[in-house]
């Protein structure tokens, strides 16, 4: 099993450009999450999904949109990138709300110039 994978690993955008980050998991998990991590900070939750077709806002949702059309995939979109969105983005999944463990992907390093 690959676990949680993220595409791409690195990306550089210009201000105003758009892009989509893809997260895929092969563990049949119901819950999926998108986090961002800035230098010297812990992870902050952007959006999450409790099942196929559902999404919900996390701690820092502004400037991002998400979609969960298939159970195994969770997409994070930036419609108009801003320098403040320069960060490392991590996707995670878990089997449910009471699951002890979240499984994290390797991260996507995004730079917006």
Partner 1 sequence: DAKTTQPTSMDCAEGRAANLPCNHSTISGNEYVYWYRQIHSQGPQYIIHGLKNNETNEMASLIITEDRKSSTLILPHATLRDTAVYYCIVRLRSEKLVFGKGTKLTVNP
Residues that bind partner 1 (CB under 8 A): 4, 33, 35, 40-45, 48, 58-59, 88, 90, 92, 97-98, 100-107
**CA distances (Å), origin 64, targets 2, 21, 26, 31:** 26, 11, 24, 18
29 and 79 Cβ atoms separated by less than 8 Å: no
Residue 107 sits at the vertex; the CA angle it makes with 85 and 52, to the nearest 5 degrees, is: 90
Name the minimum Å distance from CB 90 to partner 1.
5
Nearer to partner 1, 8 or 16 (CB): 8
32 and 91 Cβ atoms separated by less than 8 Å: yes
Nearer to partner 1, 69 or 97 (CB): 97
Name the minimum Å distance from CB 103 to partner 1.
8
Name the minimum Å distance from CB 41 to partner 1.
7
Name the minimum Å distance from CB 51 to partner 1.
15
Nearer to partner 1, 57 or 80 (CB): 57
Nearer to partner 1, 81 or 90 (CB): 90
d(CA 69, CA 108): 21
Nearest C-alpha neighbor of 33 from the set 94, 87, 88: 94
């Amino acid at each position: 099993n690959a676990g949680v994978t993220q595409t791409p690993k690195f990306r550089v955008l210009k201000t105003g450009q758009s892009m989509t980050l893809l997260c895929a998991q092969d563990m049949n998990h119901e819950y999926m999450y998108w986090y961002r991590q800035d230098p010297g900070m812990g992870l902050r939750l952007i959006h999450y999904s409790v099942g196929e077709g559902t999404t919900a806002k996390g701690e820092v949702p502004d400037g991002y949109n998400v979609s969960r059309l298939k159970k195994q995939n969770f997409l994070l979109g930036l419609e108009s990138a801003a320098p403040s969105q320069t960060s490392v983005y991590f996707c995670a999944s878990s089997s449910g709300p009471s699951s002890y463990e979240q499984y994290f992907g390797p991260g996507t390093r995004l730079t917006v110039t």
